[in-house]
Amino acid sequence: MDIMMLLDGGSLTEVYDEFKRVEAATGEGLPLEKFVHTMTSHISDEKLDRERLVMDLSELFQQIDVNGDGRLEWEEFTGFCLEAGMMATRGMAEPLGFKYEHKATYHDTTTTGSFIEDVTFVPELRRVYVCEGDCATVREYDGQLKLLRELNTDAPFGPGDEPESTEQAAAAAAAAPWRCRS
């Protein structure tokens, strides 16, 4: 695990990209040779003996390849790194009560439409207005993208949607072109 400390954050991103590139091309993880090549190209410490580095990386590969298929998937790699980090800090702090899982997909629970039709930012209000595929409503978000309210696009203002200022009235008017285009 000490060898992993030689990678900085930027290098880890590049290692991730290489894992994903190989996985997309072959449907499998990195073989030993590709893993060693990828890691050595991102570790730049002149004090290291290259032969020793290759031996250490080969040993690391064997430790990480938990399913024994001779290929290293990103999930195996990150799982090992996290567990090794937790073990290293076990004496210093309470172990975490959860295990990291990379989630490739994100589900936005505030949307209901099949797709987003349009997004507009109104800098004067620091508001974001979003119209989904059905265009029945326009969602108003604050600068931190917290949902504030939904505006009805069929009428200028629905009950409770009255603008509090001329700026909000202008923002609602900016949303008017989002009425259903079908």
Q: Which residues pair with 138 in a beta bridge?
A: 131, 151
Task: Decide if pLDDT at 54 tops 80.
Answer: yes
State pLDDT tens for residues 59-84.
Answer: 989 888 878 889 999 888 888 888 87
Task: Decide if pLDDT at 3 tops 90.
Answer: no
Contact between 157 and 133 under an 8 Å Cβ cutoff? The reply is no
State pLDDT tens for residues 113-159.
Answer: 667 788 888 888 889 888 877 667 788 888 888 889 887 766 555 55
pLDDT at 181: 42
Quick check: helix, strand or coil at residue 30? strand
DSSP class of 128: E
Query: Rounded distance, CA 96 to CA 111, Å?
Result: 32
Using alpha carbons, list the distances in angstroms from residue 157 to 88, 125, 127, 182: 58, 18, 17, 22
Q: How many Cβ atoms are within 10 Å of 77's Cβ, its own excluded? A: 21
Pairing of strands 116-122, 71-72: unpaired
Instruction: State the number of CA atoms in the 13 A half-sphere of 92 facing the CB.
Output: 5
Query: Rounded distance, CA 46 to CA 113, Å?
Result: 55
Using alpha carbons, list the distances in angstroms from residue 6 to 64, 69, 93, 150: 17, 26, 23, 49
pTM of the predicted model as reported, rounded to 2 decimal places: 0.47
42 phi and psi angles, rounded to 5 deg = -110, 0
